Amino acid sequence: MGTTGQCSGSAAQACKHNNESGCAECSVRLVSVCGSLELSELEELERISHVTIFASKSMLFEQGAPAGSVFNMTEGVVRLYKSLPDGRRQIMGFALPGDFLGLALMDRYGVTAEAVTQVRVCRFVRSSFLTYVDDKPHLLRRLHEFAGHELSLAQDQMLLLGRKTAEEKVAAFLINLQSRYGRIGPTSVTVPLPMSRQDIADYLGLTIETVSRTLTKLAREKIILVVPDGVRLLSTEWLDHLTAA
């Protein structure tokens, strides 16, 4: 999506024009909010979008900042977290290509979005995007579907934090991530884990030692194989069993 490159944030960020392809050729269009739009509508959307590339560890937006932009992810992984008053953080989730970020109900962002890897997004000025949506009820329905899905994920996360053992939490995390990667490409037994063990611990409400110990236990039992940059799921049946527990 988008035809205009726009730099934002730190000098380490790199931006480029997307001259090779537009919205119609976007590899994640069908799984993103744009999937409900006709070609003529995509051309209109493209005129208000700016392709932006964020370097790893840079911020797309910060909790409490004015919600001036919205973002459609096309490449990379983003961690979404809330900062707690005592300085700790709670990771709320990880955004992947096809996810839509920043459309806050209020005028300020409720979470911080930080790039885990290099991230490419289509960025829209929030007011321009809302004006664009106004006369497109099918796009509004699509946004509502995304919001409903996010609410469902939030409810699952509450169950995960409150009622699951460490092993069940890690199993659920891996199965869910495999499923999400499968929406944007071929389903694979190898699940990339670009986020750190600390990120996973903060998401699951565990310590980093518990996450490492649990992954080692699953590997020892030949349920997973730890590989560079991820894990290979050797027994999805057993992981599914743990998840359903």
Taking only Cα atoms into account, the Rg of the chain, rounded to an integer number of angstroms, comes to 19
Q: Please give the mean pLDDT across all residues of the chain.
A: 85
CA distances from 244 to 161, 164, 169, 180, 187 (A): 15, 10, 11, 18, 21
- Tell me the C-alpha distance between 51 and 33, whole Å: 16
Nearest residue to 173 via CA among 76, 243, 77? 243
Q: Are 229 and 185 in contact (CB under 8 A)?
A: no
**Per-residue model confidence as pLDDT tens digits over 105-142:** 678 999 999 999 999 999 999 999 999 989 888 988 88
More confidently predicted of 125 and 157:
125
Pairing of strands 224-227, 190-192: unpaired
pLDDT of 208 strictly over 90? yes
Instruction: Catalogue all structural domains in the chain, each as residue range(s) with its CATH number.
Output: 4-157 (2.60.120.10), 164-244 (1.10.10.10)
Provide the whole-model pTM.
0.85
Confidence category of residue 149, pLDDT binned at 50, 70, 90:
low
**Per-residue model confidence as pLDDT tens digits over 51-84:** 999 999 999 999 999 999 999 999 999 999 998 8
Element (H, E) at 208: helix 208-220
Confidence category of residue 21, pLDDT binned at 50, 70, 90:
low
Characterize 80-112 residue by residue with b for buried, 16 or more Cβ atoms within 10 angstroms of its Cβ, and e for exposed: bbeeeeeeebebbbbbbbbbbbbbeeeeebebb
Most confident by average pLDDT, 26-40, 46-60, 86-100, 102-116: 46-60
